[in-house]
Chain A
């Protein structure tokens, strides 16, 4: 799931202080689940913004901001506002900007990425969305996120007692986890194979990724074909 955190209040106020009527738009998807941008958080933020002097603050929370169709129910409301603060992940904010091309759209959250939920109110980053998943090789532990340096051919010299030199107090060595896990499933032999340098074109570095599923995509829809 995508996990995000509310931006610092002064940054949000900096976005909005020149407008007198704004829409705070929540998203009912991942950011509701991670307690960052759902109805409750939107309601709290709206109250604070009203108290801090923005004369009109409207609110709405739609099913998902990464799908254009869900914006229909708040389109009129959005049009009536001078600016929109989207409480979705970065994807949702961009969709909101597409839906309201003539309005300033600001992000209310800092998107942290794809993460595991460790219990109420706690998440750990687990996937970078690199586009070339190697979890099958690394025993189900992702070196891109679990190793502070995203190393793919074993640990660096900074791994000591299972801890990472980046912060030996709190950060565990991802490669220790990979080793332990492979040892547990009896596949340490995997580590003898040298992992070729990554093909970064499969990742963001190539271009903005565009995913098409031919059997679903409408004909003529994809401009990149």
Chain B
């Protein structure tokens, strides 16, 4: 038999018994055009076991009472038909306590389509019936979602030396966590970040630039952390490989000739593989007239202080982060004070608005450091006695041509080269040293794309040393939340891969933004980590064999949802478009066209097939609305949705169909006006196209 039969889209679920809780809005909704008609229609629906008109569904107590009554009427699944106020009840929160199956409930938003409110009479009641029946179908397609308690390894590994690592180790150990501290050298203090920290402290001690009190506090934290009984030190150790997922990592360390494999539940990386911008070609390191920031700091530490004319070039094409800025400013000032004849800082857009940075900038200027803000490229060429720098002054517009004795490339490369420990740990290339997603509003500086792996210190997006403290605190808190008392509690709603259908194509493993899927060679199937999976559904949308289903958003559930036959179907990302749609509807939806908002966890969950299914069932327009691609909670879900929609439009065009019926849009959750501007305009255009009487009923009568 064909694998393709529409009913076979996901693993079969045992159909439960559905009851409908109909909001009576405190008795105001009666009458022939109101909910009485809805009640009667649903009561005669064979899929509905019980209909209860409830006086109060907008309070927790009211819902609990109603759900208890439903359970007493031997229903184990519920549809709540009413308004947005009941949303906090969903999905499945606390339903198990009153005898309903967890995760098996749905909200039918009928408030805007019931007769009393909308003055549309019978037609609108019919729409309310349709919306509620649709929710019943969806609830029937749902699978019961249990709560899981998954064992995790209650230890954390901290990678790297430096202050951030030491603070993390100490905080975790003091919270009672077993900590493995891995440092590259014999001493945690002997690494680049520590060097930078000490340099800043030494050259700029009058400003409390590290956010700590006494100068030797950093050292004290390191010693305390090292001596803590819960801390196991791994010195002279390098990260070799890391496999597994949040809660169950296996980390291999190369120690001398041998290898240690350490099982840990979470990783905190404060890695020192900061990549300096290359200094003008391969042979540059041999040239005495050029160095990079690290080289300069080392020279100054050793007491070799360059004199003469010195240029510090901040790579200003990109935002450098505060560490590079601070170090450059501190070094420039130090050089002037140590007797350099001229120190110039070349920059384009150095941001000095930051804790301590502005003071540092002012004091550097006061000490005599010159700043050149230039436009366009800067050319550096070597001459017999040093280097020649040519730049166009941004203010004066004139070309500045100076000879210098030493050029310091003060930039930190924005991309980590492949093969560096952090890149291999995150299994994601091309990310910036300024954090895995530095412009993404969903990401705090310590977060990475991989659950259970945190970054602190200079590899985090925040290079302000003064804020290392709070990043470390967050990383420690998140590790604690993950590892708890050796068990992680979550709902059993991670992306579900059917091993029978998996063709081992590796697509999901490669595209999962969180790298939460591994290949299980025993099962011969990809398997999702229930802990690391963030439930975005990007994998389910891309699986070529339809082997992956995301609970609550399975193909069967979306299929049931699309039974509604609306004129406009809007797939709305739960993080942006769905709340925007909800508030747009709350403030008053003016268009009469039937618009159906279908919430999805991420726009990246929306597969072309779902868009096409909506079109097949009569939708005149289909929207896929998600977050702005640079701020997708699931990193690249929104950009995938955008590309996928564009490709589908192209395909439709090739097939001679109107590609203009499919729309992609990006917005944030507060942009109800934007939502209206996109969807409402199309809805209004539908009304002018057709007879107004018809367009009102089209949504109902399309089937």
Q: Interface on A for B, CB 8 Å cutoff?
A: 8-10, 13, 26, 28-29, 32-35, 38-44, 47-52, 59-61, 73-74, 77, 117, 119-120
Contacts and interface: CB of A to CB of B under 8 A. Distances in A.
B513 to A, nearest CB: 12
23 contacts: A8-B654, A9-B651, A13-B656, A26-B4, A32-B545, A34-B505, A35-B505, A40-B542, A41-B544, A44-B612, A47-B613, A47-B616, A49-B655, A50-B616, A51-B615, A51-B616, A51-B652, A51-B657, A52-B657, A60-B2, A73-B2, A120-B507, A120-B510
Contact of A38 (B545, B615, B652): B545
A42 B648 CA distance: 14
A48 B2 contact: no
Contact of B608 (A33, A39, A44, A120): A44
A32 B505 contact: yes
B565 interface: no
Interface residues of B, number: 30
B607 interface: yes
A52 B3 contact: no
Contacts of A38: 503, 544-546
Interface string B650-667: 011011110000000000
B2 A120 contact: no
Interface string B337-357: 000000000000000000000
Contacts of B510: 119-120
Nearest to B501: A39
Contacts of B2: 59-61, 73-74, 77
Contacts of B43: none
Contacts of A50: 616
Interface in B507-541: 507, 510-511
B3 A60 contact: yes
Nearest to B613: A47
A47 B609 contact: yes
A33 B544 contact: yes
A28 B545 CA distance: 7
Contacts of A73: 1-2
Contacts of A51: 612, 615-616, 652, 655, 657
Contacts of B276: none
CB-based closest 8 A-B pairs? A47-B612, A9-B654, A120-B510, A38-B544, A60-B2, A33-B505, A52-B655, A39-B546
A213 B382 CA distance: 70
Q: Which of A47, A59, A61 has most B Cβ within 10 Å?
A: A47
B591 interface: no
A120 B511 contact: yes
B511 A39 contact: no
B544 A39 contact: yes
Interface of B: 1-4, 503-507, 510-511, 542-546, 607-609, 612-613, 615-616, 648, 651-652, 654-657
A52 B511 CA distance: 31
B620 to A, nearest CB: 12
Nearest to A13: B655
Contacts of B503: 28-29, 32-33, 38
B652 A48 contact: yes
Contacts, number: 90
Contacts of A119: 510
Q: Which of A10, A32, A41, A117 has most B Cβ within 10 Å?
A: A32
A28 B651 CA distance: 23
B544 A59 contact: no
Given A35-B505, A61-B4, A40 B546 contact: yes
Nearest to A38: B544
Contacts of B546: 38-40, 43
Nearest to A60: B2
B612 A35 contact: no
B4 A42 contact: yes
- The main secondary structure of chain A at its interface with chain B is helix
Contacts of A59: 2, 4
A59 B5 CA distance: 8
Contacts of A13: 655-656
A7 to B, nearest CB: 10
Q: Which of A48, A52, A61 has most B Cβ within 10 Å?
A: A48
A35 B507 contact: yes
B655 A48 contact: yes
A52 B656 contact: yes
Nearest to B661: A51
Contacts of B648: 44
Contact of B545 (A10, A40, A77): A40
Contact of B3 (A39, A41, A48, A49): A39
B505 A43 contact: no
Nearest to A63: B3
A34 B542 CA distance: 12
A26 B4 CA distance: 10
Nearest to A119: B510
B543 A40 contact: yes
B577 to A, nearest CB: 23
Given A44-B612, A119-B510, A39 B4 contact: yes
Nearest to B653: A9
A142 B504 CA distance: 26
A165 B542 CA distance: 37
A115 B223 CA distance: 55
Given A10-B654, A43-B609, A120-B507, 11 more contacts: A32-B505, A33-B505, A40-B542, A40-B607, A40-B609, A47-B612, A48-B652, A51-B655, A73-B2, A120-B506, A120-B511
B651 to A, nearest CB: 6
B641 to A, nearest CB: 15
A44 B609 contact: yes
A117 B503 CA distance: 15
Contacts of B607: 40
Q: Which of A29, A42, A44, A59 has most B Cβ within 10 Å?
A: A44
Contact of A43 (B4, B651, B654): B4
A132 B421 CA distance: 43
Q: Which of A38, A41, A43 has most B Cβ within 10 Å?
A: A43
Contacts of A33: 503-505, 544
B657 A39 contact: no
A51 B652 CA distance: 9
A13 B652 CA distance: 12
A7 B518 CA distance: 32
Contacts of A42: 4
A125 to B, nearest CB: 18
Nearest to B658: A51
Nearest to B555: A43
B4 A9 contact: no
Nearest to A47: B612
A9 to B, nearest CB: 3
A60 B4 contact: yes
A181 to B, nearest CB: 21
Contact of A35 (B544, B654, B655, B656): B544
A73 B5 CA distance: 12
Nearest to B609: A43
A59 B3 CA distance: 9
Contacts of B609: 40, 43-44, 47
Contacts of B655: 9, 13, 48-49, 51-52
Nearest to A35: B544
B657 to A, nearest CB: 6
A33 B511 CA distance: 14
B500 to A, nearest CB: 11
A52 B616 CA distance: 10
A28 B505 CA distance: 11
Nearest to A42: B4
B516 to A, nearest CB: 15
Nearest to B547: A39
A110 B506 CA distance: 22
A32 B657 contact: no
A28 B654 CA distance: 26
A68 to B, nearest CB: 17
